[in-house]
Chains A and B, each alone.
Chain A
Amino acid sequence: MKVRGLMFDPYNNAYIIILRGEENTDVLPIWVGRPEANAISLALEGIFTPRPMTHDLIKSVLDTADAKIISIVVTELKENTYLSKIHLTYQDSEFTIDSRPSDAIALALRADVPIFVAEEAIKKPSSEELDRWLENLRPEDFGKYDT
């Protein structure tokens, strides 16, 4: 999936990351806090800050240690919270690290690696309210990230 939008949700005073499948059929909105939305937005815009932000630091620690992020997967929805895993290789071994999707996405964008979503995470029956909201979203709402 790719990050297709980043919006502000005034009702919850939070930000929403919109992930969209390659065929534009599956849409996954993920609510995140401001620091995470900021981190993701900086990566999307290709903006480099004068000093390394937290996700830049994580990336740079991994680079210095010669560890490589291979991909991230948003795995499941548990009690309204998405879980996610970061796959990496280090010294000929593979590791899987539990993380929040926001952090995983922020890192995936910096490492330029694929973002996957597990079937279970998409197929979860969403509430009617969410369906209506999604149906009402106009292409413009997705911001400039929609191609």
Chain B
Amino acid sequence: MNIPLKVDAVVADPNSGAQIVILKDEQNLELLPIWVGMGEGNAIRFALEGITSPRPLTHDLLKDFLNHLKIPLEKILIHSISGTTYYASLHLIQTRPAATTAAQPDEAVAENKPGDLSEEPEELTVDARPSDAIALALRMGVPIYVTEDVLRKKGAENLDAWLEKLKPKDFGPYDV
């Protein structure tokens, strides 16, 4: 079963220059921190805080592509973890025009009459880093899921202990 998550906050890691995206499940029982780079952290923060920029940023561009080409994003899924790297995927819906219908009797050539084309939606899956996937999901208002497997594996004791030690003030100005 995949668990839906929401982005709780983007905080700055006081030790490195990196940013951390804190994901939580709906009951606030599970917590998933994902370390991301500056560009991605900012992209996620801007989406959370509703900050828009005069020109489309990179994730806005990706959203624009999907909107113009009419390829909706259905959801994103953080599906595995290997070592310290999380893997995610974008789940898109592509609609292809179906193959042309066969020639009818009395017709020399098959014609595409309006209404003959049946559209077949197809799910496309694209490999992505969780940071990009989350930045896009927030912009497109689609759900973020995580597999149970990932939630089980991420629960390293060290991590939980470290998180407990973090005091609210460590979260800096990025807390939403």
Which residues of A sit under 8 angstroms from B153, Cβ to Cβ?
none
Interface code B121-147, partner A: CB below 8 Å = 1, 0 otherwise?
000111111001000000000000000
The reply to whether A57 and B124 form a contact with Cβ atoms under 8 Å apart is no
The residue in chain B whose Cβ has the minimal distance to the Cβ of A84 is B55
CB distance from B84 to the nearest CB of A (A): 12
Bin chain A's interface residue count.
20 to 34
Cα(A52)–Cα(B58), bound, Å: 14
Q: Which of B8-16, B66-74, B158-166 contacts the other chain? A: B66-74
Which residues of B sit under 8 angstroms from A100, Cβ to Cβ?
55-57, 61
Interface code A80-113, partner B: CB below 8 Å = 1, 0 otherwise?
0101000000110001011110010000000000
Give the number of chain B interface residues (Cβ < 8 Å).
31
The residue in chain B whose Cβ has the minimal distance to the Cβ of A33 is B39
Cross-chain pair count, CB within 8 angstroms: 79
Cα(A53)–Cα(B58), bound, Å: 11
* Chain B binding surface, main DSSP class: mixed
Which residues of A sit under 8 angstroms from B128, Cβ to Cβ?
52, 57
The reply to whether B124 and A54 form a contact with Cβ atoms under 8 Å apart is no
Q: Is A35 an interface residue (CB 8 A)?
A: yes
Interface positions, chain B 33-63, Cβ under 8 Å from A, are: 37-40, 54-59, 61-62
Which residues of B sit under 8 angstroms from A90, Cβ to Cβ?
69
Which residues of B sit under 8 angstroms from A62, Cβ to Cβ?
65
Q: Is A137 an interface residue (CB 8 A)?
A: no
Cα(A99)–Cα(B58), bound, Å: 8
Cα(A51)–Cα(B36), bound, Å: 12
Could you tell me which A residues sit within 8 Å of B by CB distance?
Answer: 34-36, 38-39, 50-55, 57-58, 60-62, 64-65, 67, 81, 83, 90-91, 95, 97-100, 103
Q: List 9 A-B contacts (CB under 8 A).
A: A51-B129, A53-B129, A58-B58, A58-B65, A61-B92, A65-B92, A97-B65, A98-B64, A100-B57
